[in-house]
């Protein structure tokens, strides 16, 4: 169960990130490093240190560029031993990323529609589909591109699972345990419900890293997840 919970180290200090990792101990084995930590807390070297210590690391950097740049960039991240890396879920971008990750243990994830967006936000961005429709399109394109999975809200997990099949990863932010504030998230779900819907991994940041006792918060989420383990490996 611990391997399905990914804790987002959304902090600006490496010392703070390391304190969180120490506090969580063996209860958590998987960490996400996004923009805040990557640029503000020496996140690249922190990630490599976590990998060396036997942890799994998810670099959430949402790469998007010309095909050659994306392919080479993904290949460079693959060499670190990272477990996951995000790219924007455009077809050519995902195909280039798949080439860069080929032969490695890196799972490339296509980011579909951010969990902070709803149907109106998607419309304002110029799409003629609602959020679920755009996620469905990107999921199909991700499968065709040959990448390892997608990032989507838990509310679309069941639909996405029918599109991508049982093997691809479905990584879901927007996880809010009982009593947690939504913050700027719009398409959210509880931990057990998200796993039951088809998610393979749950990303949780603020409800853990901003808690007075991060370890207790993580244990509570793991307890909610218990018994809902998926078949993705």
Please give the annotated binding residues for substrate, written as ranges: 10, 32, 60-69, 115, 176, 185, 205-206
Beta partners for residue 169, in sequence order = 149
- How far apart, in Å, are the Cα atoms of 123 and each of 117, 119, 134? 10, 6, 10
Q: CB atoms < 10 A from the CB of 188, how many?
A: 19
> Alpha-carbon distance 219 to 111, whole Å?
28
Residue list for the binding site:
10, 32, 60-69, 115, 176, 185, 205-206
- How far apart, in Å, are the Cα atoms of 219 and each of 53, 149, 185, 197? 21, 26, 22, 21
Rounded (10°) CA dihedral 107, 108, 114, 120: -130
- Residues recognised as catalytic: 60, 62, 65
> Alpha-carbon distance 113 to 122, whole Å?
8
């Amino acid at each position: 169960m611990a391997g399905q919970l990914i804790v987002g180290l959304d902090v600006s200090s490496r010392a703070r990130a390391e304190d969180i990792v120490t506090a969580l101990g063996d209860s958590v084995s998987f960490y996400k490093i996004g923009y805040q930590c990557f640029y503000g807390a020496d996140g690249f070297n922190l990630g490599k240190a976590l990998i060396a210590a036997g942890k799994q690391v998810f670099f959430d950097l949402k790469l998007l560029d010309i095909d050659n740049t994306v392919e080479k960039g993904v290949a460079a991240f693959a060499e670190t031993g990272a477990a996951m890396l995000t790219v924007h879920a455009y077809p050519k971008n995902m195909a280039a990323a798949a080439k860069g990750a080929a032969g490695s243990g890196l799972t490339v994830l296509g980011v579909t529609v951010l969990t902070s967006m709803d149907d109106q936000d998607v419309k304002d961005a110029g799409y003629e589909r609602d959020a679920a429709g755009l996620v469905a399109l990107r999921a199909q394109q991700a499968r065709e591109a040959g990448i390892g999975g997608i990032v989507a809200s838990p509310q679309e997990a069941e639909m996405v699972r029918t599109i991508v099949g049982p093997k691809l990863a479905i990584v879901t932010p927007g996880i809010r345990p009982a009593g947690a504030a939504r913050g700027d998230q719009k398409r959210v779900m509880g931990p057990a419900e998200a796993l039951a819907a088809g998610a393979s991994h749950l990303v949780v940041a603020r409800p853990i890293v901003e808690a007075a006792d991060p370890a207790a918060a993580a244990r509570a989420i793991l307890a909610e997840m218990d018994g809902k383990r998926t078949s993705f490996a």
